Amino acid sequence: MRVSTHLRRTSWTLLDQGVVSLGTFLLNIVLARHLSPAEYGTFALVLGTLLLVQVITSSLVFYPMSIRSAAMAAGDRPRLIGRSLALLGLLGVPLILIVGAGLAVMGRTELLFPLLAYFVAWQTQEALRRSLFAEFRHRDALVGDIVGYIGPVLVVLFLLQRGPLVLTDVFLGLSLASMAALAVTYLQTRPDFRDLASLRVTIREFWSLGRWSLANNLTGASRIQIMLWGLTALFGAAATASFQAALNVINLANPVLLGLCNVIPQAAAQKFRDGYGTAWQAARVYARLGAAPILLCYGVLLAAPEFVLHILYGANSAYIGLVLPIRILAVGWLLGYMADMVCSYMHGVDAARLALLINAVGAISAAALFLPLTISHGIAGSCIALAVSSLARLIASQWILTRMIADDRRSVA
């Protein structure tokens, strides 16, 4: 494929993911500035729980749909999308119960209705935008993502004009924006529900493809969840708020990271028939394109975290002292960049089990180091545990990737 094609695809991918990450980032910054540390910590825990639940839908619906759609004739895609949405509806019932039970445990049942409305609209819209990604239609997905991710920021700013923020209103704003984005994306994809008789076949196929991805993604997500819930248990929600505030700064590079993770599996899947090595060459082009902005972003955070914190949170913020945690996390995310790219590639070549091994190494490392380091060094200790786990993932990813390609070459020979 010509370099210009890679650049065009990457540009639209990064632009779309930039909108998504910008909206998420701005929402977190506004909430961190205007909610108490305890309330912002609660928001971080609730949103973290939703993201953990989304791992299930992403692994069992979005990922298999994307892989199959990427290699499918254009005329067959609307019916695959229709079956995928039907499966999402079936899967959503127990997931909604999980979310409700989590709110009951946290004692925040007043958030139940707006949170569930947001979750249903968000997940449906996410399924449709992933179907656009499978066709490299990131430019088309941009419109719905502007509505769905910039919209909540505007709603929260409007609410601030009326008085102090309340989390119930925040999640209502999120749900309304997601519903509007869903309407836009639905018109772009036009799913076809006339082939639901084949839903059982789709369920079996998606489970076969997604089960290892599910285990892998749950394992990967557990690294952050250990920190969020562990800090809450040890020091309270305010400590979780500080940790999330540091993550917000690190997430400045998310447009690049998530954008590449959206395009690499499809690029690798298209070349997989020619072997692991050829598929990795296709994926590596995108990883190299993302390396420069990643180095620039984390380089700034290493060199001038005080300046960034001052700009984002203000001179009198409770989070202005997070200089050391941000530097530690920046090193950790730099170390983990290539491991993330390798894991994305493995999802495109039906090797999610190997990605699971990489993320298991990271999760085990983080879990083993969290308690001793956090008790002795607080939030900075949690960040050190994450950085070390990133190094472990990097080493494991390079060893496994090298073995995959070498074994593939020997089998061909």
- Share of the chain residues as helix, strand and coil, in percent rounded to the nearest 5: 90, 0, 10
Those residues with Cβ within 8 angstroms of residue 130's Cβ, 6 or more apart along the chain or in another chain: 62, 65, 66
Q: How far apart are the first and last CA of the chain?
A: 25
CB 56 within 8 A of CB 297: no
SS3 60: helix
Own/partner contacts of 404-408, CB < 8 Å, gap of 24 or more, are 404/276, 404/351, 404/354, 405/276, 405/277, 405/280, 408/275, 408/276, 408/277
What string of pLDDT tens digits covers the 413 residues of the chain?
444 555 555 566 777 777 888 898 899 999 999 988 889 988 988 888 888 888 899 889 988 888 787 666 667 788 888 999 999 999 888 888 888 888 888 788 888 889 899 999 999 999 998 888 777 777 888 888 899 999 999 999 999 998 888 889 999 989 999 999 999 999 888 888 887 888 888 899 889 888 887 888 888 888 998 999 899 999 998 899 999 999 999 988 887 887 788 788 878 888 888 888 889 998 998 899 889 999 999 999 999 999 999 999 988 888 999 999 999 999 999 999 999 999 999 988 888 889 889 999 999 999 999 999 999 999 999 999 999 999 999 999 999 999 998 887 655 44
Q: What is the pTM of this model?
A: 0.78
Instruction: List all residues 6 or more positions away from 284 whose beta carbon is below 8 Å from its beta carbon.
Output: 341
